[in-house]
Amino acid sequence: MDQFWLVQYFQENWYWVPEYLPKFAEGLWITLKLLVISIVIGMTIAIPVGLVQVTGPKPLAWLARIFCTVIRGTPLLIQLWLIYYGVGSLFPSIPGLRQSFLWPVLREAFPYAVLAFSLSVAGYEGEVLRGAFRGVPKGELEAARAIGMSPFQVLRRVWLPRALQNVFPTLTGEFILTLKATPLAATISIYDVYGVGGIVRQETYKIYEPLLFVALIYLILAGILVVFFRYLENRMPRRT
Amino acid sequence: MQYAMELLAFSPPGWGGNLLRGLFNTLLIALGAYFLGLTLGFCGALGKIYGGPVLRWVLEIYTTLIRAIPELVLILFLYYAGTDLLNIALEAMGFARMDISGLWAGIYVLGFVQGAYSTEVLRGAFLAVPTGQIEAAKAIGMSSIQRHTRVIIPVMIPFALPGLANLWLIATKDTALLAVVGFSELALVTKQAAGSTKSYFLLYMAAAVLYLLLSLVSTLIFTLIERHYRRGQPVQG
């Protein structure tokens, strides 16, 4: 009898899973695309943002400092809405933009989300990298310069790798936080995993099951990311 | 500029007053959630340190799940689950169903999430108290409660403060997520104002400035608190 009860429970409350599975796969793809692109662009911005705060020049260091404070001091949701609704609403008033090749891109929600999440990653990680660049022992940089490396070589071969190595665990924690922030994109009509969960809730009138399903997907994603980053961390050369 | 001043004026038809009321609600929810979170976190930390295997296991699941699932999912789930459970309990006791007000629901939902993070911060601070000081307190005959109120808690506060400051900033920013379930805090008020005036850029900018001011003032206050609690510690560096 117990088994029968279980089957009935699944038929009543989880019948929608096979039907919506392809949609969830699409949503998963969008979530991952958003996460990976934002982290790559964000880290590319974060490196100079962190670096100029250590090396100067002063005005640039100031700008970077203000950028980090603003990004970290305001909710990501507001930044996302400011960029999508705010900046997005300014574009149609620019003459000629509607006819240009840029318009199809500017009409989509996804590029705005990528921009907002990239800036957020850049702000938080710029702050982390500031400490990381400062934490690399001076002697190592002097040694690199002494054997005749150009400033760019010092950065590429010694300073950046050593800085990243020291804060790698912090960065991976931050990337998990970014994954957990991606559902915000659903508020600007992007159908990521969370957005698809919203569709299911509207169409089936179920409250808990779709949310549980979505939570499970994010749990598994977070778990995979943790294992993946730990694998990378173990591959890093470390002085014993 | 003229238009901007009119739009943000404090009295209607300006939206400045509404935004400030939204900010006030944000502040109330953040404060309530933060202190609920601290209470849960304090109990959770004590449970994780002194509790038996079952309690520790339950707390481990609580902190792991809350910290691994996106806040937006948690907020929706806790919101529905909370109101449902409350109504089931009320009906079982023979009372009529009721809707919880946005303020209390927001505090409960965010506080429950904050509790998981506070647990970890406070547990870390507990463990950072040097064993020698606890043993010394035992040696001069303090009871368990005295040991906690006179030695462990005062010593752990400086260790916990940076983490707790961070949690407060997260609490103020997470209140914006409550806009998704329809509480009229700053983010939702701004969205409504932007929708009805079509001045999206200006109003979201104004909201961002308000949030930023809140963060800056909070950071300043926490710096002062930390300086106060570190007054007995040797100066580093």
CB pairs under 8 A between A and B: 105
Q: What is the mean pLDDT of residues A187-212?
A: 85
Do B217 and B200 contact (CB within 8 A), yes or no? no
Cα separation, A228 vs A39, in Å, equals: 15
Quick one: A234 exposed, middle or buried, by C-beta within 10 A (0-12, 13-18, 19+)? exposed
Q: In 3D, which of B70, B111, B121 has the Cα closest to residue A177?
A: B70
pLDDT tens-digit map of A89-111: 787 777 776 677 777 777 788 88
pLDDT band at B111 (very low <50, low <70, confident <90, very high): very high
Give the CA angle between residues A78, A81, A87 to the nearest 5°.
120
Closest residue, chain A, to B168 (C-alpha) = A73
Residue A180, pLDDT above cutoff 70: yes
Lowest mean pLDDT among A24-28, A82-86, A233-237: A233-237
Q: In 3D, which of A70, A117, A21 has the Cα closest to residue B209?
A: A70
pLDDT band at A239 (very low <50, low <70, confident <90, very high): low
Task: Report the predicted TM-score, pTM, of the whole model to 2 decimal places.
Answer: 0.85
pLDDT tens-digit map of B57-103: 999 889 888 888 898 888 888 888 888 888 888 888 877 777 777 77
Do B151 and B137 contact (CB within 8 A), yes or no? yes
Q: What is the mean pLDDT of residues A147-155?
A: 86
A85 interaction partners in chain B (CB closer than 8 Å) = 194, 200-201, 204
DSSP assignments along B10-50, one per residue: SSTTSSHHHHHHHHHHHHHHHHHHHHHHHHHHHHHHHHHHH
In single-letter form, the type of residue at position B3 comes to Y
Q: Do A85 and B204 touch (CB under 8 A)?
A: yes
Cα separation, A124 vs A79, in Å, equals: 14
Q: Residue A18 has what pLDDT?
A: 78
Q: Do B65 and A219 touch (CB under 8 A)?
A: yes
Closest residue, chain A, to B207 (C-alpha) = A78
| A78: nearest CB among B69, B180, B208 | B208
Q: Residue B235 has what pLDDT?
A: 62
pLDDT tens-digit map of B130-171: 888 888 999 998 888 888 888 888 888 888 888 888 899 999
pLDDT band at A217 (very low <50, low <70, confident <90, very high): very high
pLDDT tens-digit map of B5-24: 666 666 666 777 788 888 88
When comparing pLDDT for A45 and B22, which is higher? A45
pLDDT tens-digit map of A50-91: 889 888 788 998 999 899 999 999 999 999 999 988 888 787
Out of A31-40, A91-100, A159-168, A226-235, give the one with best mean pLDDT. Answer: A31-40
A182 interaction partners in chain B (CB closer than 8 Å) = 70
Q: Do B201 and A90 touch (CB under 8 A)?
A: yes
pLDDT band at B237 (very low <50, low <70, confident <90, very high): very low
- Helix, strand and coil percent figures for chain B, each rounded to 5: 80, 0, 20
| B204: nearest CB among A82, A186, A194 | A82
A28 phi/psi in degrees, rounded to 5: -60, -40
Number of C-beta neighbours around residue A95 at 10 A: 7
Closest residue, chain B, to A176 (C-alpha) = B68
ipTM above 0.90, yes or no: no
| B69: nearest CB among A88, A186, A219 | A219
